[in-house]
Amino acid sequence: MKRAFITGVTGQDGAYLSQLLLDKGYEVWGLVRRSSMADVNDGRLRWLGIADRVKMVDGNLLDISGLIRTIREVKPDEIYNLAAQSFVRSSWQQPILTSNVTGLAVVNMLEAIRLEAPRARFYQASSSEMYGLVQEPVQSEKTPFYPRSPYGVAKLFGHWMTVNYRESFGLHASSGILFNHESPLRGIEFVTRKVTHGVASIKLGLTKEIRLGNIDAQRDWGHSKDYARAMWLMMQQEKPDDYVIATGRTTTVRAMCEVAFAHVGLKAADHIVIDPELFRPAEVDILLGDASKARATLGWEPKISMEAMIREMVDADMERLATKRGRA
């Protein structure tokens, strides 16, 4: 039986990746940071019905001694580093925390692996935010980076450290440059979930409007479930490498909203209010990924369309609000 260790196991991707690995017969261990609300931080794993099958270890990405001990004890075959301060907007409010957790702490993981599990396979959650002010209309592994937020800068540091440890110490370290991916388990602060939750609330008569910032921004949106499969495929390759994971289709926030509202028979224009407070100090206007390397080498391709995903998210939010099921 293979053993996987996931940081960020309580997050969106951690949940779907755990589900995929458990289905494949892995023993799954996850790093969980202590919270005063310990009874709710496994909400996403509970939503998927797998909370009691994931072995939780207390820890924090900032605490290298804990990481070293954990990796020594767990002896994982595959390590997925998904933990991060992942909300771009917060990264201007908390630039140092974001740099420490999303950037510097990647080296904590790499050092712990180098010391305790040099033959383990390592996945780093890199991001399309590293392209920022895009240098090419379609972004591939060869496109130069130009991050536009403290989050993007921190991810770029973690990305290059992963490449460097692969080249310097021969670690099986791969980096997935994942474009935006969403699901019913997406955090409510991200725009898709904010919209689907808002649409469900409006439909149920709980509110009348959704306040948004730049709705002309364009994103290449896929489904977290499809993207978790790509992470696993990277870990099955003999050679570690970097891969762009994207759908190859970009959509404005405005058009995404229209899909969500149309699903419940409403019009987006009747309910969206533009709030200048929600614009970012520097914006990533458009992202569009070229995943042809992943298609050719990993045999990966996305199965769930943006439209189907948004409809699934609206349905899940309707169900949550109607039944108050779970917290995720």
- Name the residues annotated as catalytic: 127, 129, 151
Binding partner of residue 88 among ligand NDP, ligand GDR, none, CB cut-off 5 to 8 Å per kind: ligand GDR
Residue 84 Cβ, how far from ligand GDR at the closest point, in Å?
7
Backbone Cα Rg of the chain: 19
Centroid of chain to Cα 153: 16
**Residue 124 contacts ligand NDP per CB under 6 A:** no
**Residue 278 contacts ligand GDR per CB under 6 A:** yes
**Residue 7 contacts ligand NDP per CB under 6 A:** yes
Q: Which is nearer to ligand NDP, 90 or 201 (CB)?
A: 90
- DSSP secondary structure letter of residue 101: I
Residue type present at position 285: D
**Residue 326 contacts ligand NDP per CB under 6 A:** no
Residue 179 Cβ, how far from ligand NDP at the closest point, in Å?
7
**Residue 158 contacts ligand NDP per CB under 6 A:** no
Q: Which is nearer to ligand NDP, 128 or 272 (CB)?
A: 128
Binding partner of residue 7 among ligand GDR, ligand NDP, none, CB cut-off 5 to 8 Å per kind: ligand NDP
**Residue 320 contacts ligand NDP per CB under 6 A:** no
Alpha-carbon gap, residue 187 to 189, rounded angstroms:
6
Alpha-carbon gap, residue 324 to 171, rounded angstroms:
45
Q: Is 132 left (phi over 0), alpha (psi -120 to 50) or beta?
A: left
**Residue 61 contacts ligand GDR per CB under 6 A:** no
Binding ligand GDR by CB under 6 A: which of 50, 79, 171, 217?
A: 217
Q: Which is nearer to ligand NDP, 203 or 224 (CB)?
A: 224
Q: Which tokens sit at 257?
A: 């909203």
Alpha-carbon gap, residue 49 to 28, rounded angstroms:
14
DSSP codes of every residue in 185-254: TS-TTSHHHHHHHHHHHHHTTS-S-EEES-TT-EE--EEHHHHHHHHHHHHTSSS--EEEE--S--EEHH
Binding ligand NDP by CB under 6 A: which of 22, 56, 60, 90?
A: 60
**Residue 41 contacts ligand NDP per CB under 6 A:** yes
Residue 9 Cβ, how far from ligand NDP at the closest point, in Å?
6
Alpha-carbon gap, residue 96 to 102, rounded angstroms:
10
**Residue 252 contacts ligand GDR per CB under 6 A:** no
Alpha-carbon gap, residue 182 to 90, rounded angstroms:
18
Binding ligand NDP by CB under 6 A: which of 4, 54, 117, 125?
A: 125
| Helical (H) or strand (E) element with 123 | strand 121-127
Non-local CB neighbours of 14 within 8 Å, separated by 6+ positions: 6, 7, 8, 30, 44, 45, 80, 82
**Residue 89 contacts ligand NDP per CB under 6 A:** no
**Residue 196 contacts ligand NDP per CB under 6 A:** no
Residue 103 Cβ, how far from ligand NDP at the closest point, in Å?
11
Length of the chain: 328
Q: Which is nearer to ligand NDP, 79 or 202 (CB)?
A: 79
Binding residues vs ligand NDP (CB under 6 A): 7-8, 10-14, 31, 33, 35, 41, 60-62, 82-86, 101, 125, 127, 178, 180-181, 187
